[in-house]
A and B are shown apart, each in its own frame.
Chain A
């Protein structure tokens, strides 16, 4: 089970998205790869636009050893945004995706999205 806790639910553009990730697994398995990424995407009447802003990898051994413990992360939100938006034709949504690539054919990979809000910065 993946749990993510953001330090702030609303992050101004140009600031850092910080928080912790915690993972629980029934089996003592070391993942092949652990990836965190932040991205935005649009929803609404138009075709979907999306962009992955930043991706970081966590050492799988460290990740497995730290089961049940908080592992901190930090991502820089671009100054130009975009900001989270809920309009009439367009919605802009930000999320952080956690992907845990498990070894072996029969082990299921874990993937989960966690949404957060990006707001305009104050001058």
Chain B
């Protein structure tokens, strides 16, 4: 329920952070969001021109600022999509088990050219609880990290065609396995942070399943 299933290949179990799929699904959403914001902005300008006041000016500024933020965010995503292929995470065995130590390999290939600058890649490996509850008519969520470890940051030199990150991860034998229910979850997550000036600055997360089995 909710967790992605990796593809089994000769090199291991492959998780793909498919930005192409994201863009395919979200292009229409982006167009609708921009359209709605443009309509609101036009209304704000009309109100301001009709009755200039501090209130209408403030509303106009807020609308313009939010629209700029949305457009900048979408452009950033689009630039990443143009420059980089989807991220690929390879794990040798799956599902994972408590007490297991295993290597991971994360790769991000450039669509064209090479990295224009040197950059860094680092990560966080964590287990967290997630709950959903309602207060009145509002649905709220809450997360609490149970355990986490920061993975070392490595530098990638300028002029490479692919970004690779290899690391050894471990799951403590006394930590909880994954648990998925509608309102309550215990999840294991690998978060990778890429910081390459003039190329990409993003956080990518992969959810993995940990079985209720302790490795001797």
Report the interface size for chain A: residues with CB under 8 A from the other chain: 22
- Say if the beta carbon of B54 comes within 8 Å of chain A: no
Residues in A55-83 with C-beta less than 8 Å from chain B: 80-83
Interface residues of A, Cβ cutoff 8 Å to B: 13, 42, 44-49, 80-83, 85, 87-90, 92, 120-123
Where chain B touches its partner, the secondary structure class is strand
Interface centre among B129, B134, B179, B214 (most CB of A within 10 A): B179
A47 to B142, CA, bound (A): 12
How many A-B pairs fall under 8 Å by CB? 82
Contacts of A46 in B (CB 8 A): 131-133, 142, 183-184
Where chain A touches its partner, the secondary structure class is loop
Chain A residue nearest to B95 in the complex (CB): A80
- Say if the beta carbon of B176 comes within 8 Å of chain A: yes
- Say if the beta carbon of B212 comes within 8 Å of chain A: yes
Contacts of B119 in A (CB 8 A): none
Contact A83 B176, CB 8 Å, known A48-B183, A123-B213: yes
Chain A residue nearest to B98 in the complex (CB): A120
A89 to B186, CA, bound (A): 10
Contacts of B212 in A (CB 8 A): 13, 80-83, 120-121
- Say if the beta carbon of B31 comes within 8 Å of chain A: no
Contact B177 A42 (CB under 8 A): no
Contact B213 A44 (CB under 8 A): no
Q: Please give the distance in Å from B187's CB to the nearest CB on chain A.
A: 11
Q: Please give the distance in Å from B215's CB to the nearest CB on chain A.
A: 5
Q: Please give the distance in Å from B139's CB to the nearest CB on chain A.
A: 9
